[in-house]
Amino acid sequence: MSAATESYYDRRGLLQTLGRDGLIQIILILNTIVMLGPLVIMFFAAFKTNAQIFQSPFSIPDFSNVANIVKIWTETNFLRYLINSAIVTGSSIVLILTLGTMAAYGIARYNFRGSGFVLMFFVAGLTLPLKLAIIPLFILMRDLGILNTQLSLVIIYVAMGLPTTVFIMTGFIRTLPNELEDAARMDGASEPRIMWSVMLPLVRPAMVIAGIQNVVPIWNDFFFPLIFIQKDALKTLPQGLTTFMGEYTTDWGVLFAGLLLSSAPVIIVYIVLSRQFINGMTAGAVK
């Protein structure tokens, strides 16, 4: 093959690579626009009046106009709804990560008969949506005397989050080298000490992934609080925000301000933990 022919094929391959990369970049840009578009509109609408929202929904507002934010913070029960969501979500995530990590550690690091069955038992929970069992759950919570309490939500969310957490954590813990445990045992460390001091720091990226996977649906859930919570003082944010919608009129600016403030905690948490999240997603990609 002549040098001219080789140069032709090299240029052709380069153009094909650039074409594929360009197409991928275009797709990613379009996806970014689709994902960020509603957030931008929500952000703009939080600083507008009802008339401005309907007349010019895409225009840049006057960001010095914080009347909607002041109104929702001072004239509504938004702060109470925010605290309730923080309590329910925080308690659920702590229990999910604690119980899920302990279960995954036992499945991944100890060889015992039935370990595979136990893992499949947890994974089977991914295929069973709890919403299909809403009537038995309602009867169960009523008989336990915890209906219309935050505990009922925490129990349901923990049951929903454990399958995903155990699945993620088991796969991650199995990639850790056994030499770390052997060295700790030779130094006289107990099994709880090995888990807490040796293994737990190494699985922190996986815990961040499991936490983010669960915190978003729990924080945004509307269905279960609607069924199990009737007291206004115990309502979570998604359920509480519906009270801002009147039967005949709705102050959309106040509603969008509430949506903006309710989404801010999750966005902040994701930004703070983004590095750990990326490390967990790429763990094991490079030896």
Residue 76, helix vs strand vs coil: coil
Based on the domain organization, do 102 and 230 belong to the same domain? yes
Residues 87 and 171 both lie in one domain: yes
143: in domain? yes
Number of structural domains in the chain: 2
165 and 93 together in one domain: yes
Taking only the tens place, the pLDDT of each residue in 103-116 is 888 888 887 787 78
The verdict on residue 258 lying in a domain is: no
DSSP 125: G
Residue whose C-alpha is closest to residue 102's, from 184, 182, 166, 185:
166
Report the pLDDT averaged over residues 269-273. Answer: 78
* Residue 254 forms part of a structural domain: no
Residue 155 confidence (pLDDT): 93
| 212 and 83 in a common domain | yes
Q: Is residue 7 part of a domain?
A: no
pLDDT tens-digit map of 7-57: 544 555 555 565 677 777 888 888 888 888 888 888 888 888 888 888 887
179 and 60 in one domain? no
Inside any domain, residue 139: yes
CATH number for the domain including 92? 1.10.3720.10
| Residue 36 domain boundaries | 13-64
Q: Looking at the structure, tell me whether residues 108 and 210 fall in a common domain.
A: yes
Q: Are 36 and 103 within one domain?
A: no
In a domain, 162, yes or no: yes
Q: What is the pLDDT of residue 9?
A: 47
Length of the chain: 287
Q: Looking at the structure, do residues 41 and 97 belong to the same domain, yes or no? A: no
Residues 60 and 122 in one domain: no
Do 86 and 52 share a domain, yes or no?
no
Q: Would you say 54 and 76 are in contact if contact means Cβ atoms under 8 Å apart?
A: no
pLDDT at 263 over 70: yes
Closest CA to 240 of 47, 73, 84, 39: 84
DSSP string, 148-204: TSHHHHHHHHHHHHHHHHHHHHHHHHTTS-HHHHHHHHHTT--HHHIIIIIIHHHTH
> 163 with 45, same domain?
no
Q: State whether 59 and 131 are in the same domain.
A: no
Domain assignment present for 283: no
Has this prediction a pTM greater than 0.85? no
For residue 286, is it within any domain? no
What pLDDT digit, counting tens, does each position of 156-183 carry? 999 999 999 998 888 888 888 878 777 8
